[in-house]
Structure 1
Amino acid sequence: MKEQYLQTTRLIERLHRRFLDVIKSELDRLGVEDINNVQTLILFNINEDQLTVGELTARGYYLGSNVSYNVKKLVENGYLIQERSAHDRRMTRVRLADKGLELTAKINQLYARNAEEIEGRIASTEQLGQVNSVLMSLERFWSNLVSFTR
């Protein structure tokens, strides 16, 4: 079991890096040079929401310092709009600008193509559902370990 567990942790890490490579490859294909793969993933995860930097971090997608830097770059390059909250002037919210919406639509097309190819050659919807179920259980397990050791 220990060897399988360690192989799973290594695969998770490698898969994430490879997924970022896929996004980078698509950005290159589209000729997009003013944004990186991690920033593209942030845009895609914001989607049509309006979020604070803290909410992005709390969702567990990114590390706090990286989120602040990447949000700043995304605003500077016209992908995000950052606005102060009307209720709490200390808080800022971000949402996608038109440029961000256009890019996320193109990335969504990439994901649709990938999903179609996966279903035809690698795994069924049900099989991916089973994998996701195990990964979510592993995430809960690790979250509990972290919560109870503090």
Structure 2
Amino acid sequence: MERGMNHKIHYPFANFADTVAVLPANDTMRKVPDKPESDRDADGPLITYFELARVMERASRRFSGLLRTELSKIGVDDIGPAQAMVLLAIGEAELSVGELLDRGYYMGSNISYYLKQLGDGDYIDRIASQRDKRSARIRLSEKGRKLCASLREAARSYERALTHGEQDRQNLETAFQTLHRLELVWGNAARYGI
């Protein structure tokens, strides 16, 4: 983004009373009244949901690259960033595959492949269900817990580099809330229509 330009985010599937304008010059946010469609271009470029989705996708790829680098630093070469994200999604819980699917964006065939790799590498333990021998619950093994702890420690060092005070923490929280709201709006729009 260019310094000093007002950028607005356009939510095509939602009707919010106010539009949030981000002012990059001083990294503050303010509410601006919703304007008629004809007036929007006068205030600066309109950020569409397609542009936002592209930024999110690029950020996700860059995060995968960062995870790959961290895995290399700690000597892990038998799994990749996608499998590491599955481990982090499992966390301290004991989950079914269905519950794990709800925690992250995985395709059914991908998660089966990832879980097989993680099981072969001894990063997870599979516990057969007492009621239904066909289903299993998944939890981190000791090796998986150690890897997750190392990745979380690396994440804390990046957080310290990114966050320099209360305003940065609030901006991060706002970004999370906005992305979470987009996830809900887009998910509902895909399921139920506009």
Q: For 2:104 and 2:83, locate their aligned partners in 1 and report how far apart those are by CA, in whole Å.
A: 15
Q: Name the structure 2 match of 1:133.
A: 177
Deviation string, structure 1 residues 101-146 (Cα, Å, up to 9, x no partner): 110010010111111111039x711001111111111111101111
Q: Name the structure 1 match of 2:102.
A: 58
Q: TM-score, normalised by structure 2?
A: 0.72
Q: Name the structure 1 match of 2:122.
A: 78
Q: For 1:117 and 1:72, locate their aligned partners in 2 and report how far apart those are by CA, in whole Å.
A: 35
Q: Name the structure 1 match of 2:40.
A: none
In structure 2, what residue type is equivalent to 1:88?
D
Aligned length: 148
| Ranges of 4+ aligned residues in structure 1 off by more than 3 Å | none
In structure 2, what residue type is equivalent to 1:126?
Q
Question: Map of 1:19-34 to 2, 5 A cutoff?
Answer: 19-34=63-78
Q: Does 1:142 align with 2:178?
A: no
Query: Which segment is superposed worse, 57-66 or 44-53?
Result: 57-66
Q: For 2:176 and 2:91, locate their aligned partners in 1 and report how far apart those are by CA, in whole Å.
A: 21
Shift of 1:87: 2.1
Q: Does 1:111 align with 2:160?
A: no
Tell whether the 8 Å contact from 1:39 to 1:74 is kept in structure 2 after alignment.
yes
Q: Name the structure 2 match of 1:13.
A: 57
Tell whether the 8 Å contact from 1:54 to 1:64 is kept in structure 2 after alignment.
no
Shift of 1:64: 1.2
**Residue in structure 2 matching 1:120, options 155, 164, 169:** 164
3-state DSSP of counterpart to 1:124:
helix
Q: For 1:137 and 1:58, locate their aligned partners in 2 and report how far apart those are by CA, in whole Å.
A: 17
Greater strand fraction, Structure 1 or Structure 2: 2
Q: Name the structure 2 match of 1:46.
A: 90
Q: For 1:12 and 1:42, locate their aligned partners in 2 and report how far apart those are by CA, in whole Å.
A: 19
Q: For 1:20 and 1:50, locate their aligned partners in 2 and report how far apart those are by CA, in whole Å.
A: 25
Greater helix fraction, Structure 1 or Structure 2: 1
Tell whether the 8 Å contact from 1:79 to 1:98 is kept in structure 2 after alignment.
yes
Shift of 1:60: 3.4
Tell whether the 8 Å contact from 1:84 to 1:93 is kept in structure 2 after alignment.
yes
> What is the Cα-based RMSD across aligned positions, in Å?
1.6
Q: Name the structure 2 match of 1:92.
A: 136
Q: TM-score, normalised by structure 1?
A: 0.92
Higher relative contact order (CA 8 A, sep 6+): 1
In structure 2, what residue type is equivalent to 1:119?
T
User: Unpaired segments of 5 or more residues in structure 1?
Assistant: none
3-state DSSP of counterpart to 1:142:
helix
Q: Does 1:4 align with 2:36?
A: no
Identity %: 33
